[in-house]
Structure 1
Amino acid sequence: MNVNPENTHDAILVIGAGELGMAVIRNLAQRAALSAGTTITVLLRQASIHSREPGKQRDVAELRALGVTLLAGDLLTATTSDLADLFRPFTTLVCCTGFAAGGGTQLKIAHAVLAAGVKRYFPWQFGVDYDLIGKGSGQDLFDEQLDVRHLLRAQTRTEWVIVSTGIFTSYLFEPSFGIVDLARNTVHALGSWDNAVTVTTPEDIGVLTAAILFAAPRIVNQVVYIAGDTLTYARLADIVDGVTGTKVRRVTWDIAYLAAGLAREPGDTVRKYRLAFAKGTGVAWDMNQTFNHKHHIGMTSAEQWARQKISGQSRSAGDAA
């Protein structure tokens, strides 16, 4: 893929260096090294930069080895004006800090980006199709994501690019989400077995976000769909059968069941997610429509991920026994 000459003198700020942020930064740094004048800066809390926690120290050391500049700032305590002052020197901003930052954070960041006059913004929208889902899904964080889209579309000074990824592939197998429950040898379908979900690994999101940012011709004011895999819950159960070598129990959590659970615990974020996904709208898209398919970029499928992670766990347990 060609590099857009418009991107070759770009001051890029990435917010956050968690699992997704590190994947994005690694790939941006690799491409920036080939683009004279392009710089990468990462916004981290001061406590993270100077942390004695081994994991954070490793990340900071890696960032410095990549030639990335570290900028101290706190999204939670900073005002919109404070953030705008931090953002103003940069031409492109990529937000890799998601829902864990709390409600209202994404809107505050978006307002600060616009106030700073940043030329190009990749908001934290690494998820589902909030336009199709619309307001009132039961997940209030989704409503805020839609508000961010409305804010960006209502102005013309800052270009924006939204990368729709579906959920992290690992989340399908996360015990707390409850879709794949390996401990109970059970797979739950949200809504129905024919409902589908789109998933992508953070590593693949990092590769494609960098490719999209540096793409020629320049991508402007678009929602770009990517996908490691789009699969039904029935297909997911088949994958788990094949990977584990067993026959899993298949249990449907229909909308009525999930809505009743949320009514009992209205503040439970995971229950909100389950109900939103059970409705089957905006959470899956055709692989043939994705950026990676059109540009022939290989991705990690759900089955490949499961064979790498679940099979590896099974072998380790067997070796230990």
Structure 2
Amino acid sequence: MQDDTRTTDRGILVLGAGELGMCVLRQLARLAATPNGTRVTVLLRPSTLESNESSKKASIDELRALRIECLPGDLMSASISELSALFAGFDTVVSCIGFAAGKGTQVKLTRAAIEAGVRRFVPWQFGVDYDVIGRGSAQDLFDEQLDVRDILRGQERTEWLIVSTGMFTSFLFEPVFGVVNLAENTVNALGSWDTAVTVTTPEDIGLLTAEILFAKPRLKNQVVYTAGDTLTYGELADKVDKVLGRHVLRVEWSVAKLNADLAFDSDDAIKKYRAVFAQGKGVAWDKSCTFNHQQHVEVMDVERWMRLNLS
């Protein structure tokens, strides 16, 4: 019988140290910092480890201060068998490598984790509920996420955990996304004012992912939901008015309009996301079903995020 007093015996490997990866690593290091704690390692490109860029050097210095080991490896160029050899030294692999890594990467990492025989794998699924959205959505990258789920569910060698977080909270306010346009004093609703969206900050995703991995009893082979907030676009506009002391112009972008926008420019990634979120399917869930609610973990809602970042 395996001893579950610790999360792992051979440690946790995190893939990537970008915005989300660093948040996950900080929290794993915190929970692992006990006399008999779990070893935490991050896989980084050799070029990153050797870089003279100040931002990259600062990240490496922080990782070392957290007593996180750095393992060189290139996820982009490595084959499945090469990745498998890297992963084999660990019990848990957590992927913080997102869509920017390119098509096919998510499946490649999943197959490598299974081939390596890692005890548990957490794929990059920090986003929407792909099962509910289904195949053939406006965002074609989502189909590969379903491929990953099919692969994991179709085998018994490696346990898996999927952490569904919704959108990054900050993305609601990114000018390129176009939902909250403060420069034009406008909030644009995707679909309708009653369409809802779930959001979680990267910092809270890092906290909750670490807590999920160390949870007792052990969580495995399931989708775990988080939510910093779930709100409608109407509620979002109300919060902008309240926090910033203004009355925003409210414009409803219907599903038909957003689908037409995408049809005119079918390769535009942002228009793909808008069209998917406008459907309101698989992009929002009740906070009561989330890990943070059930475990009484305090997280940041949209209003608090706005007061800290906008006002």
Give TM class, smaller chain: over 0.9
Question: Aligned with 1:126: secondary structure?
Answer: coil
- CA contact 1:10–1:37 (8 Å) conserved in 2: no
How far residue 140 of structure 1 moved from its aligned partner, in angstroms, is 1.0
Percent of aligned positions that are identical:
60
- Report matched runs for 1:241-260 at 5 Å: 241-260=241-260
How far residue 10 of structure 1 moved from its aligned partner, in angstroms, is 4.0
Question: Aligned with 1:274: secondary structure?
Answer: helix
Whether 1:294 aligns to 2:267 is no
CA RMSD of aligned residues (A): 1.2
Aligned mates of 2:106, 2:54 — CA distance in 1:
29
- CA contact 1:9–1:36 (8 Å) conserved in 2: no
Amino acid at match of 2:80: T
- CA contact 1:196–1:283 (8 Å) conserved in 2: yes
Q: Give the equivalent residue in structure 1 for 2:98.
A: 98
Q: Structure 1: give runs of 5+ residues left out of the alignment.
A: 312-321
1:268–1:72 distance in 2 versus 1, CA, 3 Å:
same
Q: Give the equivalent residue in structure 2 for 1:271.
A: 271
Whether 1:240 aligns to 2:240 is yes
How far residue 37 of structure 1 moved from its aligned partner, in angstroms, is 4.9
Q: Give the equivalent residue in structure 1 for 2:117.
A: 117
Q: Give the equivalent residue in structure 1 for 2:75.
A: 75
Deviation string, structure 1 residues 2-32 (Cα, Å, up to 9, x no partner): xx51415241100000111001001101111
Q: Give the equivalent residue in structure 2 for 1:316.
A: none
Amino acid at match of 1:83: L
TM (norm. structure 1) is 0.94
Question: Aligned with 1:5: secondary structure?
Answer: coil
- CA contact 2:97–2:124 (8 Å) conserved in 1: yes
Aligned mates of 1:23, 1:7 — CA distance in 2:
19
TM (norm. structure 2) is 0.97
Q: How many residues align?
A: 309
Amino acid at match of 1:49: L
Deviates more, 1:99-108 or 1:126-135: 99-108
- CA contact 1:160–1:220 (8 Å) conserved in 2: yes
Whether 1:225 aligns to 2:225 is yes
Amino acid at match of 1:64: R
Whether 1:304 aligns to 2:311 is no
Deviation string, structure 1 residues 51-92 (Cα, Å, up to 9, x no partner): 111111110000001111101111111111111111111110
Q: Give the equivalent residue in structure 2 for 1:45.
A: 45
Aligned mates of 2:152, 2:190 — CA distance in 1:
32
Aligned mates of 2:35, 2:212 — CA distance in 1:
15
